[in-house]
Amino acid sequence: MLQTAMTRDTAMTEFLRIYAQLDDLVREICEARLDDAPDAEAREALTRQASEERRHVAIQRAYLQDRGTPYVDRIPPETRRTLVSYFLELDWPEFVSALQITVEGTGSLVVRQVWERADEATRRALAIPLEDEERHVRFGMEQVRKALAALSPGEQEALKARIKRRVRETLELARLLPSSLRQCFEAAGLDCGAMNARILRETAARWRALGIELEAAA
C-alpha cells in the first residue's frame, strides 16, 4: 500500500485510469455475453452498452492525455482475467444482477460521489459515463424484474437466493481492485465510512424495489 498521501490531481488521474480499465473490462464482458441475451431487445441493449463502454474509455483516455498523465493499466492481466471470467459463466438473471446492478450500480454511486467533489475538467469527463452507467443499472433491473415475473412464487424465491449469493460474490471481487482507490477517495475529500454507508443504503433500496432484501445492508 502507498504510504504517502495523494494530491487531488494524482488521485483524479489514478481514479480515471482505474475507471477506464473497468469500463474496458465491462465492454469485453458485454460483448462476450451477447449471444446469451434472452431476446432481441436485451441483445440490443447489451450491444448499446458495449459501445457506450467503449466510448467511456475513449473519453477517459482523452482526459488523461490532456492532463499530461496518459492512460496506463492499473489492474494486472491476471486479475483482469479473474474478474472477467467470473461474469462469463453466470445464468442471465444472475449475470445482470452481478454486472449491471452490482458492478455498475455500486460503481455509479462511487463515481457520482467523486463527481460531486471533482474539478470542472474531471466533472466533464465523468458526466457522460455516469449518465450511461445509470441507464445500464436500469437495464439490469428491468431484466431481473422480467425474469422474476416469468417464475412461480417458489422459483422466484430460489432465484432471489441465487441473486443474493451473486451480489455477495461480486462485492467480494472488489477486493481485487487496486488498493490505491481508497487513497483516491480520501484525496477527493470523501469520507470512506460515510461513502460506504450511503452506497449500502442506496443499494439496499435498489434491490428492495425488486423484492430482494440484502442481509448485509439490513
Closest distance of CB 158 from Fe ion, Å? 28
Closest distance of CB 70 from Fe ion, Å? 19
Q: Does position 56 bind Fe ion by CB under 5 A?
A: yes
Closest distance of CB 193 from Fe ion, Å? 26
| Single-letter residue type at 80 | R
Q: Which of 14, 24, 53, 94 binds Fe ion (CB under 5 A)?
A: 53
Find out whether 120 and 185 touch, Cβ atoms under 8 Å: no
Q: Does position 24 bind Fe ion by CB under 5 A?
A: no
Name the one range near Fe ion by CB under 5 A: 19-27, 28-36, 119-127, 174-182.
19-27
What gap in Å lies between CA 116 and CA 119, rounded to an integer?
9
Find out whether 42 and 95 touch, Cβ atoms under 8 Å: no
Q: Does position 14 bind Fe ion by CB under 5 A?
A: no
Closest distance of CB 150 from Fe ion, Å? 25
Nearer Cβ to Fe ion (14/23): 23
Binding mask 153-182 for Fe ion (x = CB under 5 A): ------------------------------
Based on the number of CB atoms within 10 Å of its own CB, is 200 exposed (0-12), middle (13-18) or buried (19 or more)? middle
Q: Does position 23 bind Fe ion by CB under 5 A?
A: yes
Closest distance of CB 174 from Fe ion, Å? 16
| Single-letter residue type at 188 | A
Nearer Cβ to Fe ion (6/59): 59
C-alpha dihedral sign at 144, 170, 158, 213: negative
Binding mask 133-152 for Fe ion (x = CB under 5 A): x--x----------------
Question: What residue has cell string 441493449?
Answer: 45
Rounded to 5 degrees, what are φ and ψ at 7? Answer: -80, 165
Binding mask 83-122 for Fe ion (x = CB under 5 A): ---------------------x------------------
Please work out, in degrees rounded to the nearest 5, the angle formed at the alpha carbon of residue 144 by the alpha carbons of 143 and 150. 95
Integer distance in angstroms from the first to the last C-alpha of the chain?
31
Q: Does position 17 bind Fe ion by CB under 5 A?
A: no
- Estimate to the nearest angstrom the gap between the alpha carbon of 94 and the chain centroid: 15
- Please name which of 126, 84, 133 lies closest in space to residue 107, comparing C-alpha atoms: 133
Find out whether 60 and 20 touch, Cβ atoms under 8 Å: yes
Using CB under 5 A, list all residues that contact Fe ion. Answer: 23, 53, 56, 104, 129, 133, 136
